[in-house]
């Protein structure tokens, strides 16, 4: 893994010594299984070749100092005084700093000893675009602390600790998919992940296809109450359905047939949310089989169904995302397209015939500009490996 050179030169300039460690963690797209992780179901993400990068050098104090290269901001926090979300001068930490501070808090909640360090952070994962820029930052810090501090925690536990940072420190009730994907990425493969049993397996992407990401350039923060509201709606559905169906602990446990037989018990809004989840679980299981059989057309059709469900039932799409999906389906070589991540803006992921991927990307951005009047960033992405560290002493 090749670090961005400006990361090292900037570190050396700012701290007047070279970094001793570099860590990296990828963002992700999700191919199927949206808003399913917190319903204990199955998801199908891909770690992508966009990374959060950290250059760091340990200090002898409890203070972590971070220069955020992309923002031109410096912050610091004391790892033994994290509860108030203040810096050592008692000023409130900016929101982005809650991610690394939250990871420090969460690791220590698990009795892991941490060291202070000086760091420079940069990322090629676009922020707030539904590609898990926040999970990438959390994971890049977690693996750096692991390397500095000498303890050895398995990757799934590390993913859960990063998720806890986001749930309990940042205040977003997100599931485990993003941190899982950032830590478990496999080059060339999608990751079939069971969010209840935590079992997973890589599924190689068929040779002849390309994944194209298209960014609407519409942003909406995950912290928005809408995400937490969706999760609460699912919990309400479980609460009601469990009174009538045995062994239902999460919406993952409700079959399509059982849902149809009991949907009248739910209010119209809760019905729509639950229907998306129940059908999306089934879609994901079917989709994984189709992709394993190399059937890009059938998989793509399921992606389109998934998008319609996110648009009409879960109501997390927006006009710009819908426009990108509609334009994509009319372009040659497109097997499927859908919004990816939490929604309310951000990106679509497109499954495209590899030989037509370039003209597809150009056609999509041109037609989006014409129809919506905004620029879309469109690029072909590669399925990447998960987070890691580059030890500078070993180079």
Catalytic residues: 178
Residue with nearest beta carbon to ligand GLA: 174
106 lies in the site for ligand GLA, by CB under 6 A: no
Candidates 27-35, 80-88, 198-206, 361-369: pick the segment binding ligand GLA (CB under 6 A).
27-35
3-state per-residue secondary structure call for the chain: CCCCHHHHHHHHHHHCCCCCEEEEEEEEEECCCCCCHHHCCEECEEEEEEEEEEEEEECCCCEEEEEECCCCEEEEEECCCCCCCECCCCCECCHHHHHHHHHHHHHHHCCCCCCCEEEEEEECCCCCCCCCHHHHHHHHHHHHHHHHHCCCCCHHHHHHHHHHHHHHHHCCCCCCHHHHHHHHCCCCEEEEEECCCCCEEEEECCCCEEEEEEECCCCCCCCCHHHHHHHHHHHHHHHHHCCCCCCCCCHHHCCHHHHHHHHHHCCHHHHHHHHHHHHHHHHHHHHHHHHHCCCHHHHHHHHHHHHHHHHHCCCCCCHHHHHHHHHHHCCCCEEEEEECCCCCCCEEEEEEEHHHHHHHHHHHHHHHHHHHCCCCEEEEECECCCCEEEEHHHC
Please select the residue that binds ligand GLA; options are 116, 126, 341, 386, rule is CB under 6 A: 341
Spatial separation of the C-alpha atoms in residues 67 and 122, rounded to whole Å: 9
Q: Which stretch binds ligand GLA (CB under 6 A): 33-41, 96-104, 116-124, 371-379?
A: 33-41
Among 178, 253, 275, 305, binds ligand GLA (CB under 6 A): 178
Q: Of 132 and 317, which has the nearer Cβ to ligand GLA? A: 132
By CB under 6 A, which span of 35-43, 94-102, 199-207, 351-359 interacts with ligand GLA? 35-43
User: Minimum CB separation from ligand GLA for residue 342, in Å?
Assistant: 4
Nearer Cβ to ligand GLA, position 57 or 177?
Answer: 177
Q: Is 34 in the site for ligand GLA (CB under 6 A)?
A: yes
Query: Shortest gap between Cβ of 278 and ligand GLA (angstroms)?
Result: 15
Q: Give min distance, CB of 313 to ligand GLA, in A.
A: 14
Q: Does 138 participate in binding ligand GLA (rule CB under 6 A)?
A: no
118 lies in the site for ligand GLA, by CB under 6 A: no
Nearest distance from C-beta of residue 35 to ligand GLA, angstroms:
5
Please say which residue, 14 or 226, places its beta carbon nearer to ligand GLA: 226
> Contacting ligand GLA (CB under 6 A), which of 31, 104, 177, 212?
177
Half-sphere exposure of 269 (CA within 13 A, CB side): 10
The least distance separating ligand GLA from the CB of residue 32, rounded to whole angstroms, comes to 10
Residue with tokens 């239902």: 248
For residue 250, the minimal CB distance to ligand GLA (Å) is 13
Nearest to ligand GLA of 67, 311 (CB atom): 311
Among residues 11, 38, 99, 344, the one that binds ligand GLA under rule CB under 6 A: 38
Q: Which parts of this chain interact with ligand GLA (CB under 6 A)?
A: 30, 34-35, 37-38, 132, 174-175, 177-178, 341-342
């Amino acid at each position: 893994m090749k670090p961005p050179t400006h990361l090292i030169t900037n570190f050396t300039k700012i701290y007047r010594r070279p970094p001793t460690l570099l860590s990296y963690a990828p963002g992700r797209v999700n191919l199927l299984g949206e808003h399913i992780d917190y319903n204990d179901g199955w998801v199908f993400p891909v770690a992508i070749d966009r990374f959060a990068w950290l250059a760091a050098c340990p200090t002898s104090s409890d203070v972590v100092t971070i220069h955020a290269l992309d923002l031109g901001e410096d912050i610091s926090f004391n790892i033994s005084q994290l509860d108030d979300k203040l810096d050592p001068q008692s000023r409130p930490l900016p929101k982005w700093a809650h991610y690394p501070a939250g990871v420090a808090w969460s690791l220590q909640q698990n009795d892991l000893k941490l060291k202070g360090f000086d760091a420079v952070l940069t990322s090629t994962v676009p922020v707030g675009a539904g590609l898990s820029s926040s999970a990438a930052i959390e994971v890049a810090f977690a693996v750096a602390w692991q390397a500095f501090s000498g303890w050895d925690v398995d990757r799934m536990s590390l993913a859960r600790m990063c998720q806890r940072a986001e749930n309990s420190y940042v205040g977003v009730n997100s599931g485990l998919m993003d941190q899982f994907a950032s830590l478990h990425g496999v080059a060339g493969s999608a990751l079939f992940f069971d969010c209840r049993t935590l079992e997973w397996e890589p599924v190689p992407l068929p040779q002849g296809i390309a994944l194209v990401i298209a960014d609407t350039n519409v942003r909406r923060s995950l912290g928005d109450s809408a995400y937490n509201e969706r999760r609460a709606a699912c919990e309400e559905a479980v609460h009601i359905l469990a009174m009538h169906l045995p062994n239902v602990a999460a919406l993952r446990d409700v079959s399509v047939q059982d849902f149809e037989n009991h949907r009248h018990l739910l209010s119209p809004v809760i019905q729509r949310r639950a229907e998306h989840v129940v059908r999306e679980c089934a879609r994901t299981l079917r989709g994984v089989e189709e992709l394993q059989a190399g059937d890009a057309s059938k998989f793509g059709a399921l992606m389109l169904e998934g998008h319609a469900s996110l648009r009409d039932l879960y109501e997390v799409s927006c006009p710009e995302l819908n426009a990108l999906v509609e334009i994509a389906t009319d372009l040659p070589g497109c097997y499927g397209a859908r919004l990816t991540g939490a929604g309310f803006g951000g990106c679509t992921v497109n499954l495209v015939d590899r030989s037509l991927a370039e003209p597809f990307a150009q056609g999509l951005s041109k037609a989006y500009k014409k129809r919506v009047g905004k620029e879309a960033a469109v690029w072909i992405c590669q399925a990447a490996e998960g987070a890691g560290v580059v030890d500078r002493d070993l180079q």
